[in-house]
Chain A
């Protein structure tokens, strides 16, 4: 009887300890860090919603590699083109994901890559146009298996 209860206690404690060990608090960027990372790019300019299309699966099974495509509605002419595309996230340890620099010779303002997502969160893409204006799109993504930013190896 006594043995059984200590055994149960032991496993209970061990289970609890294991839970603690495998779910440490992830270091994550805060919305404030996201806002400041965006400010670093746009300065004091206002960011308008539109023109930018951010394609990313809304439900992600594996946060270690998430396909992402950003495109911008632009004629990509010398007088009217996309200069750069900046992608940010809300809850990875760092708010920046990538910066892409384009020009009128690009022909089409579209880039694709694969990203990591440490948690379900909002992704923001901002395009800088040749006239100095900024346009954005954001998508909320649900991640079931997070990228192992805190994994012990």
Chain B
């Protein structure tokens, strides 16, 4: 999807620890702001981020309103084989986005 930015090295050596950087475009409305009429702007955030490698979950995050808009999350993983990373963001109002990235491991 165009709303996700993923940075994964295209190649790595077996056993390397690589950094994965992700950014998802999202307003992350806290639910604590008010409109001029006094109404609370309803909360609209991403609540969960997960990363799977070849089907196995390798990283997960719970997000709260204290995460800045367009959530950036980076983490590390050890690569042992070539394969596909799948990223999934889930949030309020049925928000659900996925992205994938492949890596070839020598």
Binding site for B on A (CB under 8 A): 27, 64-66, 89, 92-94, 96-103, 105-117, 148-153
Q: Which residues of A contact B98 (CB under 8 A)?
A: none
Q: Which of B3-11, B74-82, B83-91 contacts A (4 or more CB under 8 A)?
A: B74-82
List B residues 40-93 near A (Cβ within 8 Å).
41, 58-69, 71-78
The CB with the most chain B CB atoms within 10 A, among A27, A66, A105, A111, is that of A105
Expressed in whole angstroms, the Cα–Cα distance for A116 and B29 within the complex equals: 11
Q: Is B68 within 8 A of A153, CB to CB? A: no
Closest 7 CB pairs of A and B: A107-B17, A107-B78, A108-B76, A114-B68, A65-B68, A99-B62, A149-B32
22 A-B pairs (CB sep. < 8 Å): A92-B66, A97-B64, A98-B62, A100-B59, A102-B75, A105-B77, A105-B78, A106-B75, A106-B77, A111-B74, A112-B74, A113-B61, A113-B72, A113-B74, A116-B65, A116-B68, A117-B66, A151-B33, A152-B34, A152-B36, A153-B35, A153-B36
Residue of B nearest to A27 (CB): B32
Quick check: is B104 within 8 A (CB to CB) of the other chain? Answer: no
Return B12 CB to nearest CB of chain A, in Å: 11
Q: How many residues of B contact A (CB 8 A)?
A: 29
> With A27-B32, A93-B30, A105-B78 given, is the CB distance from A99 to B61 under 8 Å?
yes
Expressed in whole angstroms, the Cα–Cα distance for A102 and B41 within the complex equals: 33
Out of A101, A106, A150, name the residue touching B76 (CB < 8 Å): A106
Binding site for A on B (CB under 8 A): 17-18, 30, 32-36, 41, 58-69, 71-78
Q: Which residues of A contact B59 (CB under 8 A)?
A: 100-102, 106
Q: Is A98 within 8 A of B32, CB to CB? A: no
